């Protein structure tokens, strides 16, 4: 089970509202490479994971992704809480505002709502871990693209932290995959699925 | 019931009492009786957690890495596996 720590993993303190930035950063909340999908991906895959190391890494990274979901939410909240109607109109935030005001809703930057179609849980540890490594790279490149778009140092700072964590997670999943592969038949890694076949 | 199950049952009981009382206190923050009930169960939960972790391994990261030479957090069984 989980319990809540009343703190962010890394601090978020943004002085200036900026709905234009919120419009693109929201993709890291509920978009195709966002933190909601990341946490749900790992926390659902772990049940069929065959080794303690892989169960542990999916649990621990899935849990950290929940903390990242909270950090992205804090960024979005602080970018929008004191925005003016003029800013909303000028920045094109009106299409979000009409449905959600300054509330948080997990969606893609394009406006599509969050979808579980953004992740897989296959019950095959090789397929899952490869997906996880790709997902960490996709999240990393999304943060790289955001860093190209964002000038405000208050916003860049927590985004840089989040970007670094994607790289560490990629490394850990790679180590998990290696452990799985080492245990398989080196002449045919796919002869059986260690998540299902006994 | 095994010793492990018994100790875990205590942790569950006191932690659940904390969750339940905490929720009540969210909407009744000045209720002295509830506050006292929360404190009592918090102390019991801490003691029960310590007893369990000493013998059967960590329940949270906070309790991990205490005594064994290798990382005890990673050791199964995991809670969803239905093992006792």
Distances (CA, A) of A57 to A28, A60, A89, A134, A163: 22, 5, 44, 16, 18
**What is the spatial distance between Cα B35 and Cα A115, in angstroms, rounded to a whole number?**
41
- Phi, psi torsion values for A100, nearest 5 degrees: -125, 0
In 3D, which of A64, B7, A164 has the Cα closest to residue A56? A64
Q: What is the CATH number of domain A20-182?
A: 1.20.1260.10
Q: Which of B17, B45, B78 to mutate to test the interface with A (most CBs of A within 10 A)?
A: B78
The reported pLDDT for the residue numbered A19 is 98
The reported pLDDT for the residue numbered B84 is 58
pLDDT in tens, chain A (198 residues): 999 999 999 999 999 999 999 999 999 999 999 999 999 999 999 999 999 999 999 999 999 999 999 999 999 999 999 999 999 999 999 999 999 999 999 999 999 999 999 999 999 999 999 999 999 999 999 999 999 999 999 999 999 999 999 999 999 999 999 999 999 988 888 888 888 987
Distances (CA, A) of A197 to A48, A50, A73, A148: 11, 10, 40, 46
* Residue corresponding to tokens 């998990």: A176
DSSP notation for A124-173: -HHHHHHHHHHHHHHHHHHHHHHHHH---HHHHHHHHHHHHHHHHHHHHH
Averaged pLDDT, B63-70: 85
Between chains, do A52 and B73 touch, taking CB under 8 Å as contact? no
pLDDT tens per residue across span A69-104: 999 999 999 999 999 999 999 999 999 999 999 999
In 3D, which of A122, A121, A104 has the Cα closest to residue A113? A104
pLDDT tens per residue across span B5-64: 999 999 999 999 999 999 999 999 999 999 999 999 999 999 999 999 999 999 999 999
Between chains, do A53 and B76 touch, taking CB under 8 Å as contact? no
The reported pLDDT for the residue numbered A189 is 86
* Per-residue DSSP letter, A113: B
Instruction: Give the minimum alpha-carbon distance from B19 to chain A in angstroms, rounded to a whole number.
Output: 9
Between chain A and chain B, the number of residue pairs with CB atoms below 8 A apart is: 14
Q: What is the ipTM of this complex?
A: 0.91
Residue A166 is encoded by which pair of tokens?
A: 């994607």
Between chains, do A56 and B73 touch, taking CB under 8 Å as contact? yes
For residue B3, the Cα-to-chain-centroid distance in whole angstroms is 15
Between chains, do A52 and B80 touch, taking CB under 8 Å as contact? no
What H or E segment, with its residue span, contains residue A63?
helix A52-80
Q: Is the pLDDT of residue B67 over 90?
A: no
**What is the spatial distance between Cα A92 and Cα A154, in angstroms, rounded to a whole number?**
22
Nearest CA in chain B to A53: B74
User: Which of B76, B79, B80 is opposite residue A52, by nearest beta carbon?
Assistant: B76
Is the Cα dihedral B50, B54, B55, B58 positive or negative? positive
Angle, vertex CA A130, rays to CA A124 and CA A131, nearest 5: 90
């Amino acid at each position: 089970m989980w319990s809540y720590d009343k703190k962010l993993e890394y601090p978020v303190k943004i002085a200036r509202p900026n709905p234009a930035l919120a419009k693109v950063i929201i993709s890291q909340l509920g978009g195709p490479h966002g933190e909601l999908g990341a946490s749900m991906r790992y926390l659902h895959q772990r049940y069929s994971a065959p080794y303690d190391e892989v169960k542990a890494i999916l649990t621990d990274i899935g849990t950290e992704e929940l903390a990242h979901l909270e950090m992205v939410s804090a960024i979005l909240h602080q970018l929008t809480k004191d925005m003016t109607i003029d800013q909303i109109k000028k920045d094109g935030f009106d299409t979000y505002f009409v449905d959600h005001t300054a509330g948080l809703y997990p969606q893609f930057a394009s406006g599509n709502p969050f979808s579980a179609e953004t992740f897989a849980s296959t019950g095959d540890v090789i397929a899952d871990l490869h997906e996880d490594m790709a997902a960490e790279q996709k999240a990393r490149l999304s943060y790289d693209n955001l860093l190209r778009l964002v000038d405000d140092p208050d916003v860049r700072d927590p985004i840089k932290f989040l970007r670094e964590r994607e790289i560490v997670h990629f490394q850990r999943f790679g180590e998990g995959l290696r452990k799985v592969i080492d245990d398989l038949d080196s002449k045919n890694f796919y002869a059986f699925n260690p998540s299902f076949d006994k | 019931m095994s010793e492990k199950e018994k100790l875990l049952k205590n942790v569950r009981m006191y932690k659940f009492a904390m969750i339940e009382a905490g929720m009540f206190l969210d909407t009744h923050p000045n209720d002295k009786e509830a506050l006292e009930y929360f404190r009592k169960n918090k102390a019991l939960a801490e003691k029960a957690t310590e007893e369990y972790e000493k013998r059967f391994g960590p329940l949270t990261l906070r309790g991990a890495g205490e005594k064994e030479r290798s990382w005890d957090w990673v050791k199964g069984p995991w809670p969803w596996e239905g093992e006792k």
